[in-house]
């Protein structure tokens, strides 16, 4: 079969070259559209239902909210796990599904079932599905703050954070969510602006009013109402009563009681109305100053690098639309990690390619032959990238970093080396240069000579990676891309070795071809020949040390450390301070986190988040450094900031973890 293939290739050499150009075009397109990430996404498909419960204790949240939702969701198709989290202010129900499930269809099923439980929940609650994202979805963090030299800002810090929260919710967030690939934009910190009404119980009692009556009157008088339309002078004019309030004075002046000849009783007579903020269950800081922090959440399955870059570009556009003195500053950009990772892979691949070309030249002794073999490297990678795009495999440290150029060029080296040897011998036998026809005939004969062993050699190497495809769960998500990419690259190199290599040799290996070994190969043979003679004569003197060396290697292997994935120094790390659930939000920004971050000598910037949009009992600190920080340094920092007890009498010990 391979002989027939080689006959066809040598008859259609121009078609093979055109096919190579097609591979260049398709592979170039695939390289541009290849999803790029730092590491494979190993998270399971999941759907979350979040319910804000502002007035119930954790036990009541569990009984009245979480349990009914869990009961309704039980038995969903292809669901593997159902769990819930119930705490003050929040009910979170998480459903994990099998790999490969249609997440959009699953969310539709969850939504349908959720409608059946709404009537069983306490009134006023509105369960919502979390955005379509994975555990690695938080790809971009930024802060929104006033510049130091601006005078166009509120007087107090609380008023500034309240104004920044409004800018974030009504300007930045809507525009940023329109970015392709962004599923959600989360907000942490700041104060939510509200009109706060504080009734005086004594004055209410004297006026004969109850709290319910006061609330009902205010609610009825602050709703927009429509009155149809009237026709005046041939025009149709809409009648409406705009009663939405924006100022405290508008509520203060609402009448509660009135009558003929009697001064009306206003809201201001029984209550105090002022601009305030809602209950705050979370806050954020940047460089030890309280700030507003936003996070862009990537849609599941999108290209991390492109989405993060799009978010940065979009924020630059939004910056021009913000009020004077308000600035957006990026504090974490996942694309920087991806770029560093890909740069490392590119550098290793480039250095490997150069090394391969040098070694080929030294061994083959022919720069043209070395160049022909080296072409297999980029073409095989383009072939592999085309398959990666088709199969949905992302380019990352595990997939691209696993490519071994020695394996890729193995078949091409065998093919080209045999062709060069036969061309040299034939030229020496004839005593002249070969004609084009003679060269093509000799190339075909040489290729047929090694085609079968070369094919089975590459096939055996490829089969070694097949068991990896049987891995399931986290291991499968981590290592399957590696096996797929290597097998694609090996398959591409095999096709190129059987097609392109003979064609290029027939065109480019004209002129004088040396039939003798070069100086390097001659030196190696001269040194190897006596060693081989000695080994064949005294075989046991060679075999016994090899067994001893094998036993020693087993002992060393048993002492060798191991890790699940290669260490990835992102340069950014986080640590978490676990505090009592009753700790006040402002108290979570104590001196402990400041001591920890100040102890990092190469710190670039630091951001802290305590709580979330609802509640969090832990204080997370994100530190971005200019260089990689060793784990030993982090342990010393952890020991330094260890506190015997918190203000609530509970142990508080920071724990460090790398963000990657």
**pLDDT value for 569:** 59
Q: Is residue 290 part of a domain?
A: no
405 and 384 belong to one structural domain: yes
Chosen domain end from 226, 251, 277? 277
Separation in Å, CA 246 to CA 158, 173, 196, 270, 353 = 19, 22, 12, 20, 67
Q: Which residue range is the domain that position 239 belongs to?
A: 198-277
Torsion angle of C-alpha atoms 241, 245, 246, 247, degrees rounded to 10? 120
**pLDDT value for 573:** 62
**pLDDT value for 182:** 92
Chosen domain end from 517, 535, 560? 517
Q: Is residue 483 part of a domain?
A: yes
Q: Is residue 169 part of a domain?
A: no
pTM above 0.85, yes or no: no
Question: Cβ distance 599 to 610 under 8 Å?
Answer: no
Residue 126: which CATH number? Answer: 3.30.70.1430
271 and 398 belong to one structural domain: no
**pLDDT value for 17:** 94
d(CA 596, CA 641): 6
Torsion angle of C-alpha atoms 15, 19, 24, 29, degrees rounded to 10? 140
d(CA 624, CA 655): 16
d(CA 197, CA 353): 72
411 and 481 belong to one structural domain: yes
**pLDDT value for 580:** 61
507 and 593 belong to one structural domain: no
**Dihedral sign, CA of 512, 515, 519, 524?**
positive
395 and 513 belong to one structural domain: yes
125 and 223 belong to one structural domain: no
94 and 28 belong to one structural domain: no
Question: Could you tell me where the DSSP H helices lie in 270-375?
Answer: 304-319, 334-364, 367-374
Q: Is residue 555 part of a domain?
A: no
- Measured in degrees and rounded to the nearest 5, phi and psi for residue 500 equal -70, -40
10 and 75 belong to one structural domain: no
Q: Is residue 559 part of a domain?
A: no
Q: Is residue 484 part of a domain?
A: yes
Burial 597-607 (b: 16+ CB within 10 A, else e): bebbeeeebbb
**pLDDT value for 319:** 93
380 and 510 belong to one structural domain: yes
Other Cβ atoms less than 10 A from the Cβ of 41: the count is 18
Which residue in this structure is represented by tokens 């891309």? 481
Task: Quote the number of domains for the chain.
Answer: 4
| Beta-carbon contacts of residue 20 (< 8 Å; ≥ 6 apart) | 379, 500
Instruction: Tally the C-alpha atoms within 13 A of residue 11's C-alpha that lie toward its C-beta.
Output: 6
| Beta-carbon contacts of residue 298 (< 8 Å; ≥ 6 apart) | 133, 136, 137, 138, 139, 181, 182, 183, 304, 307, 308
29 and 122 belong to one structural domain: no
Residue 254: which CATH number? Answer: 3.30.2090.10
Chosen domain end from 226, 257, 277? 277
pLDDT mean for each 10 residues of the chain (660 residues): 88 93 94 82 87 85 93 92 87 90 91 91 89 84 88 84 90 92 87 86 87 86 78 85 80 82 83 80 72 88 87 93 90 84 78 78 78 89 92 83 82 88 83 85 91 90 90 84 92 93 89 71 87 90 92 89 64 62 58 50 57 45 50 44 39 42
Q: Is residue 548 part of a domain?
A: no
What is the chain's Cα-based Rg?
Answer: 35
Q: How many residues does the chain have?
A: 660
581 and 483 belong to one structural domain: no
15 and 61 belong to one structural domain: no
Question: Cβ distance 134 to 163 under 8 Å?
Answer: no
Q: Is residue 178 part of a domain?
A: no
Separation in Å, CA 220 to CA 223, 250, 251, 465 = 6, 14, 12, 71
């Amino acid at each position: 079969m391979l002989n027939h293939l080689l006959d066809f290739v040598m008859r259609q050499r121009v078609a093979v070259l055109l096919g190579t150009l097609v591979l260049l075009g398709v592979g170039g397109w695939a390289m541009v559209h290849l999803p790029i990430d730092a590491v494979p996404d190993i998270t399971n498909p999941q759907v979350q239902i979040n319910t804000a419960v502002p007035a119930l204790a954790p036990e009541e949240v569990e009984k009245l909210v979480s349990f009914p939702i869990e009961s309704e969701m039980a038995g969903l198709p292809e669901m593997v796990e159902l769990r819930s989290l119930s705490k003050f202010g929040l009910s979170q129900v998480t459903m994990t599904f099998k790999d490969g499930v249609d997440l959009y269809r699953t969310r539709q099923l969850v939504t349908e079932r959720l409608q059946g439980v709404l009537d069983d929940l306490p009134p006023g609650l509105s369960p919502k599905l979390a955005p379509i994202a994975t555990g690695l979805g938080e790809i971009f963090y930024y802060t929104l703050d006033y510049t130091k030299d601006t005078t166009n800002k509120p007087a107090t810090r609380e008023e500034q954070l309240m104004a920044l929260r409004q800018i974030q919710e009504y300007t930045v967030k809507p525009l940023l969510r329109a970015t392709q690939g962004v599923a959600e934009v989360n907000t942490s910190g700041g104060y939510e602006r509200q009109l706060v009404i504080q009734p005086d119980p004594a004055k209410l009692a004297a006026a004969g009013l109850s709290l319910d009556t006061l609330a009902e009157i205010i609610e009825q008088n602050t709703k927009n109402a429509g009155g149809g339309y009237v026709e005046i002078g041939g025009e149709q004019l809409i009648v409406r009563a705009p009663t939405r309030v924006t100022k405290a004075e508008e509520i203060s002046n609402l009448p509660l009681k009135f009558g003929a000849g009697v001064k009306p009783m206003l809201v201001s007579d029984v209550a105090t109305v002022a601009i305030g903020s809602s209950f705050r269950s979370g806050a954020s800081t940047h460089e030890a100053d309280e700030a507003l922090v936003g996070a862009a959440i990537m849609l599941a399955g999108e290209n991390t690098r492109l989405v993060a870059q799009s978010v940065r570009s979009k924020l630059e556009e939004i910056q021009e639309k913000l009020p004077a003195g308000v600035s957006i500053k990026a504090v974490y950009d996942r694309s920087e990690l991806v770029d560093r990772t890909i740069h490392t892979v590119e550098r290793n691949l480039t250095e490997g390619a150069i090394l391969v070309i040098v070694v080929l030249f030294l061994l083959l002794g022919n720069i043209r032959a070395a160049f022909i073999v080296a072409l297999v490297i980029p073409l095989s990678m383009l072939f592999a990238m085309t398959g990666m795009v088709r199969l949905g495999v992302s380019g990352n440290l595990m997939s691209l970093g696993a490519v071994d150029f020695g394996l890729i060029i193995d078949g091409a080296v065998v093919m080209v080396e045999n062709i060069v040897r036969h061309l040299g011998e034939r030229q020496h036998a004839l005593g002249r240069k070969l004609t084009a026809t003679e060269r093509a005939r000799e190339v075909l004969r040489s290729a047929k000579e090694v085609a079968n062993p070369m094919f089975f050699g590459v096939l055996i190497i490829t089969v070694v990676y097949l068991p990896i495809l049987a891995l399931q769960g986290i291991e499968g998500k981590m290592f399957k891309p590696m096996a797929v990419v290597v097998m694609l690259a090996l398959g591409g190199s095999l096709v190129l070795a059987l097609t392109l290599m003979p064609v290029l040799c027939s065109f480019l290996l004209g002129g004088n071809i040396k039939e003798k070994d070069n100086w390097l190969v001659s030196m190696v043979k001269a040194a190897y020949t006596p060693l081989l003679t000695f080994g064949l004569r005294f075989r046991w003197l060679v075999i016994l040390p090899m067994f001893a060396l094998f036993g020693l290697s087993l002992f060393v292997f048993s002492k060798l450390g191991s890790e699940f994935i290669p260490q990835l120094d992102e340069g950014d790390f986080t640590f978490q301070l676990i505090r009592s659930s009753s700790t006040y939000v402002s108290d979570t920004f104590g001196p402990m986190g400041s001591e920890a971050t100040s102890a990092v000598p190469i710190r670039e910037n630091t951001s802290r988040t305590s709580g979330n949009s609802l509640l969090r009992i832990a204080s997370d600190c994100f530190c971005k450094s200019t260089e990689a920080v060793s784990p030993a340094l982090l342990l010393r920092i952890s020991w330094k900031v260890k506190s015997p007890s918190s203000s609530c009498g509970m142990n508080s010990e920071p724990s460090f973890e790398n963000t990657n």
